[in-house]
Structure 1
Amino acid sequence: MTKGWGRPFEDPIRIGDRVLVTLLDAGEYIAALPKKEHTAPEWQAAMEALLLVVERDGPTMFARIGVLRALNRHYVPEFNPKGKEPHWGRRKLKRDQ
């Protein structure tokens, strides 16, 4: 089993045409970001997660989650207030059909 920065993610991270396969790939990607983006709290947390996984031999999933959260930091899910319609009160019996 590979240790350190050479450890692969269980599921590679795709960013456009680029694919981050190992922890080193993710670290280099973060290091190459423009300074303004690199200093964002989400990217700093992703780098901390990478370092913890590498230094403490933790699960690579933690680092993957950190990178994905930083990549998707501007995504705001839309809230649908209508949601799913409740089924009660609409049930029809076979005899009523």
Structure 2
Amino acid sequence: MTGGWGRPFNDPIEVAGPNLVTLRDAGEYIAALPKKEHDALEWRAAMEALLLVVERGGPTMFARIGIMRALNRHYVPEFNPKGKEPHWGRRKLKRDQ
């Protein structure tokens, strides 16, 4: 198993352009971001996670989570009002029917 920046992710991260397969790919992707994007809080956290994994040999999943959170930072889950409605009434027992 290679160490440091050459370590691969368990699952490649899909982005526009070539996928991020190794920690080096992720570092280069972050470094190539525009300055405004690069300075966003989520990308800073992703960089910190990436550096901790590279320097301390932690699980690559930590870096993957940081990058995925930064990539999806503008995604807001849509509220579905048609979801299951709560049942607020008392439950009827078989003997009461």
TM-score under structure 1 length normalisation: 0.84
Counterpart of 2:67 in structure 1 is 67
Shift of 1:79: 1.4
Local SS of the residue matching 1:17: coil
Structure 2, gaps ≥5 residues long? 88-97
Q: How does 1:22-61 map to 2 (within 5 A)?
A: 22-61=22-61
Question: How many residues end up aligned between the 2 structures?
Answer: 89
4+ residue runs over 6 A deviation: none
Counterpart-to-counterpart distance in 2, 1:77 and 1:86: 20
1:21 counterpart = 2:21 = yes
Give the distance between the partners of 2:36 and 2:19, measured in 1 at CA: 23
Separation in 1 of the partners of 2:11 and 2:34? 26
Q: Which residue of 2 aligns with 1:92?
A: none
Superposition CA RMSD, Å = 1.8
What's the TM-score, normalizing by structure 2? 0.84
Counterpart-to-counterpart distance in 2, 1:35 and 1:86: 47
| Shift of residue 86, structure 1, vs aligned partner | 5.9
Q: Which residue of 2 aligns with 1:94?
A: none
Query: Any idea what SS the aligned residue of 1:25 has?
Result: helix
Note the residue ranges of structure 1 that are not aligned, 5 or more in a row: 88-97
Structure 2 match to 1:95 = none
Give the distance between the partners of 1:42 and 1:31, measured in 2 at CA.
14
Deviation (angstroms), 1:15: 0.5
**Residue number in structure 1 paired with 2:94:** none
SS in 1 for 2:19: strand
State the distance in 2 between where 1:29 and 1:42 align: 14
Query: Post-superposition shift, 1:7?
Result: 0.1
Q: Distance in 2 between matches of 1:55 and 1:19?
A: 23
